[in-house]
A and B are shown apart, each in its own frame.
Chain A
Amino acid sequence: QQQVKQSPQSLIVQKGGISIINCAYENTAFDYFPWYQQFPGKGPALLIAIRPDVSEKKEGRFTISFNKSAKQFSLHIMDSQPGDSATYFCAAKGTGSARQLTFGSGTQLTVLP
């Protein structure tokens, strides 16, 4: 039972282009939405995160857009670079007794030089 749905499964973008990865969630009790970046052979690492009281968060070339009413959030990578080629996971953290992170299925991003 996947509570966080991520798309697309894979994405190919030209260098300098914009990469967009989307996630949708079902549980309205989620209160923290991080994105993790994973390079081959490595563990995931936190990239950027947002709480539902804001609609956008930007860190450098990476931006999270959050739509609370639609229960959707997305990662935008501006000026995509070959070094951004990695797998990206969205996640959502619950509240109360369900405080674990629930991950999306992942998006494999390839940025062509």
Chain B
Amino acid sequence: NAGVTQTPKFQVLKTGQSMTLQCAQDMNHEYMSWYRQDPGMGLRLIHYSVGAGITDQGEVPNGYNVSRSTTEDFPLRLLSAAPSQTSVYFCASSYTLTGPSNEQYFGPGTRLTVT
């Protein structure tokens, strides 16, 4: 199993550009989520999905869109990049959101810089 994969690893955008961060998992996990990590702020939840076709907002959703058309993929779209979106983005998945098998597996991250 590749686990959770993310592309690209690094990205530089200009203010106002749009882009999609890719996330895929091959563990047949129901639950997938996107976090951003900023110094001193921990990991903050952007959006999450409990299954194909179902998404919901997390703590910091503004400026981001998600969709979940398949169990495996959960892309994160930046609509119009702003310098405040400079961060490291992590995708995570777990078998379920409740019950004993709810360990979240994280991808390697995408480091995004918006100039």
Q: Which residues of A contact B (CB under 8 A)?
A: 2, 4, 6, 9, 32, 34, 36, 41-46, 49, 89, 93, 99-101, 103-106
Contacts and interface: CB of A to CB of B under 8 A. Distances in A.
A46 B103 contact: yes
B2 interface: no
Interface in B35-87: 35, 40-45, 48, 58
Given A43-B107, A43-B109, A46-B103, A99 B42 contact: no
B102 A43 contact: no
Interface of B: 4, 33, 35, 40-45, 48, 58, 90, 92, 97-98, 102-109
A69 B78 CA distance: 42
Nearest to A89: B42
Contacts of B92: 43
Contacts of A32: 102
A106 B42 contact: yes
